[in-house]
Chain A
Amino acid sequence: MKASNGLLKEMWKQRAAYLFLLPKLILFVLFILIPVFWAFLIAFQEYGYSGSEWVGFKNFMTTFTSSTFHVALLNTLKYTVFTVPVTIFLALGLATLIYPLGKWSQSFFRGAFYLPTVTSMVIIAMVWRWVYNYRFGLFNYFLDFLGIPPQDWLNQSDTALWALIIMSVLIPPGVGVIMYLAAMGSIPETLYESAKIDGANAFQRWWRITVPLLKPTTLYLMMLSLIGSFQVFIQVILMTGGGPGDATETIVHLIYKTAFRDLEFGLASAQAVVLFIITLIFGVVQYRIMYRKGEE
């Protein structure tokens, strides 16, 4: 009781700040919090145009027993497991290479790596469709150059998901680079100087000082990347449509089809809730592991 009183008092003290936060908070409540809450409610209903019926856990049972959902979950997990670590490692590697450069060079590379981030994923997907084209794509051109027979990247079950993974990994991790560069700038120079005096070489200084002190940034980026990977959709709908067969079916693509093609909004909401819970579990586990390592 006392604690809550104290909190309220503190909030009242900071009322000017809260007033500035209010517009964003209203938007957040209207367009995120209420729809999320609504989705949770719909997940327990047979939601229809002319009325809804409460069906309890039926939609969740359907989700858990659906072989299509299992395939989509497996594909999404595979995509996440391969894209998240590689993306983080690439961002860290690039930031490490850019950081020692002069002011102008650093600014140039910051811009160069961030620019693709603002490009629409739709455009990127269209370009990559050309890159993967069997007849005149860039990939097969290089394979031909090396004497390797061309692949129909997006139309074969054993290469389609890998094609999407490679594409995602090769999109420059602009946000990661920017954040790592900012975090690197906040590491005290004295730490490196004392390590140098102790005889540590460049790699040892990076491994023993830079990487551990970037843990909070890495954790944050991993969280962002994990959530993004679990929600992979645009690449799928534009490049493969979930095919061939169900080789590239992912959870969000399945949710989309269930809702807007099959008009089963209750089932789609249940699938979305399951995705939310899976992402939450992964996020919490990741946070725990990284946080503990950071503490150590």
Chain B
Amino acid sequence: MKTFKTVAVVTAVSLLGTALVGCSSEEKKEETANWTGKITIWDGPRWKDDKENKYHWLEKVAADFEKSHQGVDVEIVQVPWAELNDKLGVSLAGKKLPDIAPVDISGNGVNPMFIKQKAVEPLDAYFTAEEKKDFYPNALEAYTTDGKMYGVPAAMTVHSLLLNLDIFRERNVEPPKDGLWTWDEFTEKMKKLTYDKNGDGTTDVYGFSTYIKNGYYEAWPFLYMNGGRPLSDDASKFTFDAPEALSAMKDLADLKTSAKVAPKEMGSGDVGGTWKAFANGKTVAVEPWATWAISAAQGAKMNFMVASYPSKDGKPVTIGGVGGWTMFHQEEEGKKKVLADLLKELTSTENQVLSAKSYGTFPSRLSAMEQDPFAENVQMQQAQKLTEYAVMVPRHENWKKIDEAIQQQLQLVLNGEKTPEAAMKEAKSKVDGLLK
């Protein structure tokens, strides 16, 4: 009797379970196919239209998406780029994340901390192997962790030197042939470009300047010049205290402290001031910038060219970045599918070509690059050549802290307050604890 009862109960439960599973998978299919509701997407300002609207591109993408996905409402939240990461941090703390948000072009792919906290969705289920093949491997790599794809790369950037050709001409200095130069040529030209313009006995125009700030890498390719790198290849050891890195640091600091070809402000964290000195004040002849600056300088009608970072062995090196989009944690399968569709739209070949032409970024898709978006843009073509020399900053869970420990000390080196050896010893003492 007891046995019969047990069998009956188990059978009943099994049948009920089967019915429920069947029911839920049926519902899931239905829900996936017909999800409707609101999508929240954040974005920073991009290129402007004739009405000075810097969100027109996303607004159009959203409007088209709403047309093709009846019942889906896309809400755009405008966030200044400088505030994006902090705002995401606040939202994470409050567990009120957007559905989709961009990764800044100067970034290094998806933030590992977001993956660790399970705040971003893996997207492998929505991208076929064929679709993934269209992305440059290094771009896709920046959004891949433990073999899973946690975002879609949309654009790439590379750091390069921008040269004010008016100052070169004024000082009768020949720009580097094909944008390539050695360290010795570079320093020689910087000396010639540094001068007292108004004859009052003080220097008004400097050859070179840059800034040092957490999360920004304009100055770093100089430190890579002799083969130095911040971390070992497997990101387990601090290596910026190696002789190759220290000698490059000294070379960079000497531009200001010994050669006096850089202003006193070089090495401060003043991004805006550094740009203004180059683009508005025209008091600096050469500055390193990410590729967004090319389009900004073109907009400012500057007479300039793009060059590589100087090298010691004829092989320049630079640092690249990969911008993109991530999908944040979702409960509904149907919504995930719709969001993945929107991610595909945002990063489509057509949109990447448009961004390349209007926003000064390199496509992350091969199919977009094949359309030759820089056919009529000499400066971007030159910058594009530098992509083959680009390396990415290391990817590590604690990279932001590691970066800060290094950048703080670099500021002191460029200020002449510390020797590279002492500075990197201090950085190492902090970084070693973060690598464990």
**Chain B CB within 8 A of A156 CB:** yes
Of A49, A241, A244, A260, which contacts B415 at CB under 8 A? A244
**Chain A CB within 8 A of B95 CB:** yes
Of A48, A155, A259, A262, which contacts B268 at CB under 8 A? A155
From residue 380 to 404 of chain B, which have CB atoms closer than 8 A to chain A?
400-401, 404
**Chain A CB within 8 A of B40 CB:** no
Interface size class of B (residues with CB under 8 A): 35 or more
> B119: which A residues are within 8 A, CB to CB?
49-50
- CB closest residue in chain B, given A237: B86
**Chain B CB within 8 A of A103 CB:** no
> B125: which A residues are within 8 A, CB to CB?
none
Q: Is the CB of B265 within 8 A of A245?
A: no
A85: min CB distance to chain B, Å: 30
Total residue contacts A-B, CB cutoff 8 A: 83
**Chain A CB within 8 A of B66 CB:** no
Q: Is the CB of B412 within 8 A of A259?
A: no
Q: Is the CB of B417 within 8 A of A50?
A: no
> B85: which A residues are within 8 A, CB to CB?
260-261
> B95: which A residues are within 8 A, CB to CB?
49
Q: A49-B95, A49-B329, A259-B93 are in contact. Are A155 and B86 (CB under 8 A)?
A: no
Bound complex: CA A10 to CA B65 (Å)? 64
Q: Is the CB of A265 within 8 A of B93?
A: yes
Bound complex: CA A50 to CA B97 (Å)? 12
Bound complex: CA A240 to CA B89 (Å)? 21
**Chain A CB within 8 A of B117 CB:** yes
Q: Is the CB of B86 within 8 A of A245?
A: no
Q: Is the CB of B265 within 8 A of A155?
A: yes
> B409: which A residues are within 8 A, CB to CB?
245
- CB closest residue in chain A, given B416: A156
B209: min CB distance to chain A, Å: 12
Q: Is the CB of B89 within 8 A of A134?
A: no
From residue 41 to 96 of chain A, which have CB atoms closer than 8 A to chain B?
47-50, 67-68
Q: Is the CB of B269 within 8 A of A243?
A: yes
Q: Is the CB of B92 within 8 A of A244?
A: no
The dominant DSSP class at the A interface is loop
> A50: which B residues are within 8 A, CB to CB?
117-119, 329
A43: min CB distance to chain B, Å: 14
**Chain A CB within 8 A of B53 CB:** no
**Chain B CB within 8 A of A193 CB:** no
Of A134, A257, A261, A265, which contacts B264 at CB under 8 A? A134
Q: A134-B265, A261-B85 are in contact. Are A155 and B415 (CB under 8 A)?
A: yes
A135: min CB distance to chain B, Å: 7
Q: Is the CB of A244 within 8 A of B117?
A: no
Q: Is the CB of B117 within 8 A of A241?
A: no
Bound complex: CA A211 to CA B434 (Å)? 53
> B97: which A residues are within 8 A, CB to CB?
49
13 further A-B contacts with Cβ under 8 Å, apart from A243-B408, A263-B117, are: A49-B92, A49-B119, A134-B263, A134-B265, A135-B263, A243-B269, A244-B269, A244-B415, A244-B417, A245-B411, A260-B85, A260-B89, A262-B113
Task: Give 15 CB contacts A-B under 8 Å.
Answer: A49-B92, A49-B95, A49-B119, A67-B430, A133-B273, A134-B264, A152-B265, A155-B267, A156-B417, A157-B412, A157-B415, A261-B89, A261-B400, A262-B401, A265-B93
Question: Using a CB–CB distance below 8 Å, which chain B residues touch chain A?
Answer: 85-86, 89-90, 92-93, 95, 97, 113-114, 116-119, 213-214, 263-265, 267-270, 273, 329, 400-401, 404, 408-409, 411-412, 415, 417, 430
Question: Using a CB–CB distance below 8 Å, which chain A residues touch chain B?
Answer: 47-50, 67-68, 133-135, 152, 154-157, 240-241, 243-246, 257, 259-263, 265
